[in-house]
């Protein structure tokens, strides 16, 4: 594996573009500041000359006191190693314009739309710059620091009205509409016509009417969702169809949007921990993990040795139950209603029992703290983990394989149905099992090891065909590899304290930025946190795997039959909690 | 042979079907109750479970582990003549650490001096906003606020809990979390002993000086 040290590329990029690229000199910050006009040129060089082929995150930041906006890009190599951070700074005067990187890195598509939607950063050259999480016609850019929500109390928590003179009131009583919303002055709901559908369909227009063989054919738009049972939540896809073949697709998301980032910026650092549980609600342990790593990087604190192992055990148990439910739900999507799904849920129940015993909650665990975890694993729970790992889960995985892997009906349904090829997957920023099933062995536990994963002996599961069958099998492979990690972890776990820090409800975080990334069961989950030394983060951004993975959905679907769409969406394993945030 | 995979899969479902009834019969012959008994529920959520593993709520309920958390409550110690000695000192840490900011405390002031005294006049938890994260209980320095096990709180109106509704005796705390309670008590005793020793040392030192 080629892992060039970050320092060599540091010198190169400034030398390669003198006067255009400068090293970021702010204390606590790394990477480069690129001149706005040369961004596309520099990004092309970063991709082609320096080999950073995977752009994982595009993050807008509003620096209100300095009166500027910033867009931060995190690029990585699919061969592994540390990443490259580059950023553009523009004055905070409307229109805030930054050139779009969609031609260099197509993975920037939805993330640039998100930055436009929430921060009002206009990406020039983006072909379809519509709002994505908020609705078209929404007033204002909610992530800007001078924007206030209807229930606005104060800029940051803790609110002064709670203590020592906490006279209770209900927030809705303070709002004239008695609800968590506000309208523009001249808004009349009776006369309002939503413009978002018009704009959506016009973005699909490029696929319409075409004459073939002298016959004039037309294409129709079909909306799947937002309440379609196979969409794994409130997800909507607008499809253009040529007969039964998909000719174009636009994902429509944001139905579950609650502006997690803004909530996170109002919260103190610690208060964000339970909120991360609500992102990918299947894997709250993994979500905690990523956030803890990001803040620990900022605080520059070590993690207690025993806690590292507990973290790995919890994250891998979480991965096992996620993949088991994935397989069950995939079969649901394909029409094998409930038998495999309930078999999967049986194992998931047992794993959730463990989560409940250690953390107190089955799904919203809130188990990690900066420097360690909340509490130790009790002896009887450790025994149960061992029983599951060494005994039951192995057998149950075999049973799953006996039930499904050779089933001729399933195999003929899955085999040879293309999901995505390696090149497209990397281009569109797909991470996780879908990328690995396409033949790219990119797993952060190996490519950019975090926690104690470098101490375990396991293989990166990889399959090469990139079809549905491989996407199914890779989940089974990953369950087996997770079990391997768990076997070693429960044997090696040392005794000792479970937190390197004293329990404190208000942590001190020095100024700077950190990008904490982990391999969540669905792909790369990353948190970008900027601190200005105050008790609350200045910027808190989540890079959820589900959200970035659906950038590729259109590429996956074009040319396939509409009947495959449901299965293809199932393959991506999206969870709306983290997609819509 | 085409169809072998399907037969193999059907074998799995058949085995599970068989196990369901076999397990029920075994429990029946052993004279144990597999359903509607704590023993049976514990078995069904153990790593040995097979056959029917579902728990028929509300007739049966899962056994909650000690750390299970739901809405918080306030602990009072039962003093002489049934006097409620509220442990809370209204220091405000729980209100400050609460992520959704659902805790409201009015601190008491001495009517004569106007100085704050360590007990709350009013204490509200907006249970509809509470996200059951457990921070308040975790960071409370006096073990005065504890996460409850009672999860059946559905109602037709908003659940805003006042002191009257929130206060529960220390014996209740002991009944739902025996290990935590024992640990807390040991810590409190140790602290008091240290304090007494210090006071005694000061007393003996004072006359000497």
Q: What are the tens digits of pLDDT across the range A380-404?
A: 899 999 999 998 999 999 998 998 8
Question: Nearest 5 degrees, angle CA A371-CA A376-CA A377?
Answer: 130
| Residue of A159, A388, A404 with shortest CB distance to B47 | A388
Query: Which pTM does this prediction carry?
Result: 0.89
B51 and A CB contact within 8 Å? no
Q: Is pLDDT of A84 > 50?
A: yes
Summarised one tens digit per residue, pLDDT across range A398-420 is: 998 998 888 888 898 888 888 89
A535 and B CB contact within 8 Å? no
User: What confidence tier does B208 reach under pLDDT thresholds 50, 70, 90?
Assistant: low
Is residue B142 within 8 Å of B87, Cβ to Cβ?
yes
User: How confident is the model at residue A205, as a pLDDT?
Assistant: 66
User: What confidence tier does B114 reach under pLDDT thresholds 50, 70, 90?
Assistant: confident
Q: Is pLDDT of A73 > 90?
A: yes
Q: Distance between terminal CA atoms of chain B?
A: 100
Asked if B131 lies within 8 A of A409 by C-beta distance, the reply is no
User: What confidence tier does A515 reach under pLDDT thresholds 50, 70, 90?
Assistant: very high
Instruction: Among B88, B101, B165, pick the best mutation site for testing chain A contact (most A Cβ within 10 A).
Output: B101
User: How confident is the model at residue A474, as a pLDDT?
Assistant: 93
Average pLDDT over chain A, rounded to an integer: 87
Q: Please report the domains of chain B, with CATH numbers, ordered by start residue.
A: 6-60 (no CATH), 72-190 (3.30.70.3270)
Summarised one tens digit per residue, pLDDT across range B26-45 is: 989 998 888 888 888 888 88
CB within 8 Å of A438: residues ≥ 6 apart:
A419, A420, A421, A422, A425, A430, A464, A466, A470
Chain B nearest-CA residue for A369: B135
DSSP state of A64: T
The dotted CATH code for A6-124 is 3.30.460.80
User: How confident is the model at residue A209, as a pLDDT?
Assistant: 59
Q: Is pLDDT of A314 > 90?
A: yes
User: How confident is the model at residue A71, as a pLDDT?
Assistant: 93
| Residue of B4, B16, B92 with shortest CB distance to A406 | B4
Q: How far is the C-alpha of A480 from the C-alpha of A397, rounded, in Å?
A: 8
- Residues in chain B with CB shorter than 8 Å from the CB of A164 are 90, 92, 105-107, 116
User: What confidence tier does A196 reach under pLDDT thresholds 50, 70, 90?
Assistant: low
Q: Which of residues 102-161 of B touch A (CB under 8 A)?
A: 103-107, 116, 122, 124, 126, 131-135, 138-139, 147, 158, 160
Measure in Å the smallest separation between the Cα of B93 and chain A Cα atoms.
Answer: 8
Is residue A240 within 8 Å of A212, Cβ to Cβ?
no
Asked if A167 lies within 8 A of B104 by C-beta distance, the reply is yes
Instruction: Among A163, A328, A352, A375, pick the best mutation site for testing chain B contact (most B Cβ within 10 A).
Output: A163
Ranges of each domain in chain A: 6-124, 260-580
Higher pLDDT, A232 or A580: A580
The percentage of residues in chain A with a pLDDT greater than 90, rounded to a whole number, is: 43
Summarised one tens digit per residue, pLDDT across range B46-104 is: 888 888 888 888 888 888 899 999 999 999 888 888 788 888 888 889 999 999 999 99
B12 and A CB contact within 8 Å? yes
Weakest mean pLDDT among A315-329, A339-353, A530-544, B108-122 = B108-122
Summarised one tens digit per residue, pLDDT across range A2-58 is: 444 444 445 578 878 888 888 888 888 888 899 888 899 899 988 888 889 899 999
Measure in Å the smallest separation between the Cα of A271 and chain B Cα atoms.
Answer: 5
| Distances, alpha carbon A220 to alpha carbons A43, A116, A141, A250, A560, in Å | 38, 29, 34, 14, 15
Chain B nearest-CA residue for A389: B47
User: How confident is the model at residue B207, as a pLDDT?
Assistant: 61
Residue A168: which of B105, B59, B179 has the closest Cα?
B105
Asked if A356 lies within 8 A of B124 by C-beta distance, the reply is no
Q: Stretch A142-157: mean pLDDT, rounded?
A: 87
Q: Is pLDDT of A442 > 60?
A: yes
Instruction: Among A151, A166, A356, pick the best mutation site for testing chain B contact (most B Cβ within 10 A).
Output: A166
CB within 8 Å of A472: residues ≥ 6 apart:
A327, A330, A404, A414
User: How confident is the model at residue A166, as a pLDDT?
Assistant: 84
The dotted CATH code for A260-580 is 1.10.645.10
């Amino acid at each position: 594996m080629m892992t060039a040290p970050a320092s060599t590329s540091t010198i190169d990029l400034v030398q390669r573009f003198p006067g255009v690229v400068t090293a970021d000199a702010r204390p606590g910050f790394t990477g480069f500041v690129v001149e706005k006009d040369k961004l596309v040129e520099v990004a092309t060089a970063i991709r082609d000359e320096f080999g950073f082929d995977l752009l994982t995150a595009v993050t807008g930041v509003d620096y209100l006191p300095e009166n500027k906006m910033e867009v931060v890009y995190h690029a990585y190599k699919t061969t592994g190693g540390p990443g490259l951070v580059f950023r553009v700074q523009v004055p905070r005067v409307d229109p805030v314009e930054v050139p779009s990187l969609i031609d260099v890195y197509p993975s920037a598509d939805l993330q640039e739309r998100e930055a436009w939607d929430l921060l009002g950063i206009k990406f020039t050259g983006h072909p379809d710059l519509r709002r994505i999480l908020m609705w078209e016609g929404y007033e204002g850019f909610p992530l800007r620091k001078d924007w206030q929500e209807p229930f606005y109390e104060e800029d940051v928590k803790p609110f002064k009205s709670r203590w020592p003179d906490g006279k209770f009131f209900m927030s809705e009583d303070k709002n004239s509409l008695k609800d968590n919303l506000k309208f523009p002055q001249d808004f009349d709901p009776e006369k309002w016509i939503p413009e978002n559908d018009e704009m959506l369909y016009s973005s699909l227009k490029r696929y319409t009417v075409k004459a073939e063989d002298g016959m004039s054919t037309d294409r129709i738009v079909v909306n799947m969702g937002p309440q379609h049972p196979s969409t794994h939540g409130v997800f909507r896809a607008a499809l253009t169809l040529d007969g039964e073949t998909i000719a174009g697709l636009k994902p429509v998301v944001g139905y579950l949007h609650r502006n997690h980032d803004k909530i996170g910026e109002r919260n103190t650092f610690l208060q964000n921990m339970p909120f991360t549980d609500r992102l990918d609600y299947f894997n709250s342990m993994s979500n905690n993990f990523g956030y803890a790593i990001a803040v620990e990087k900022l605080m520059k604190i070590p993690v207690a040795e025993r806690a590292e192992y507990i973290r790995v055990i919890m994250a891998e148990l979480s991965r096992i139950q996620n993949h088991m439910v994935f397989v069950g739900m995939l079969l649901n999507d394909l029409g094998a209603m409930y038998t495999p799904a309930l078999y999967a849920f049986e194992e998931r129940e047992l794993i959730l029992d463990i989560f409940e015993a250690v953390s107190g909650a089955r799904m919203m665990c809130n188990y990690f703290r900066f420097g360690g975890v909340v509490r130790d694993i009790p002896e009887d729970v450790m025994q149960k983990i061992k029983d599951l790992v060494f005994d039951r889960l192995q057998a149950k995985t075999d049973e799953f394989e006996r039930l499904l892997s050779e089933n001729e009906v399933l195999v003929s349904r899955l085999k040879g149905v293309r999901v995505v090829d390696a090149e497209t997957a990397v281009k569109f920023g797909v991470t996780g099992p879908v990328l690995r099933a396409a033949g790219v062995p990119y797993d952060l536990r190996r490519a950019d090891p975090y926690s104690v994963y470098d101490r375990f002996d396991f293989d990166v599961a990889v399959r090469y065909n990139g079809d549905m069958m491989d996407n199914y099998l890779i989940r089974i492979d990953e369950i087996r590899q997770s079990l391997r990690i768990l076997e070693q972890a429960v044997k090696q776990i040392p005794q000792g304290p479970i937190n390197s820090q004293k329990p404190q409800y208000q942590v001190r975080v020095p100024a700077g930025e950190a990008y904490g990334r982990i391999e969540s069961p669905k792909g790369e989950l990353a948190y970008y946190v900027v601190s200005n030394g105050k008790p609350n983060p200045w910027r808190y951004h989540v890079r959820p795997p589900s959200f970035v993975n659906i950038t590729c959905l259109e590429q996956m679907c074009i040319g396939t039959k509409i009947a495959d769409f449901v299965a293809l969406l199932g393959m991506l394993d999206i969870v709306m909690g983290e997609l819509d945030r | 042979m085409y169809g072998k995979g399907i037969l193999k899969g059907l074998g799995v479902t058949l085995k599970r079907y068989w196990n369901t009834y076999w397990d029920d019969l075994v429990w029946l012959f052993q004279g144990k109750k597999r359903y509607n008994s704590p023993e049976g529920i514990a078995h069904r959520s153990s790593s040995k479970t097979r056959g029917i593993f579902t728990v028929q709520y509300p007739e049966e309920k899962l056994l909650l582990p000690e750390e299970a958390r739901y809405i918080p409550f306030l602990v009072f110690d039962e003093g002489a003549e049934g006097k409620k000695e509220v442990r809370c000192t209204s220091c405000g840490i729980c209100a400050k650490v609460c992520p959704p900011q659902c805790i409201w405390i009015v601190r008491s002031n001495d009517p004569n001096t106007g100085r704050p005294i360590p007990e709350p006049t009013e204490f509200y938890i907006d249970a509809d906003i509470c996200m059951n994260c457990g921070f308040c209980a975790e960071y409370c320095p006096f073990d005065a606020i504890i996460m409850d096990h009672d999860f059946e709180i559905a109602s037709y109106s908003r659940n805003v809990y006042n002191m009257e509704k929130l206060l529960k005796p220390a014996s209740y705390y002991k009944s739902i979390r025996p290990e935590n309670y024992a640990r807390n008590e040991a810590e409190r005793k140790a602290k008091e002993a240290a304090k007494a020793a210090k006071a005694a040392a000061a007393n003996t030192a004072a006359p000497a000086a």
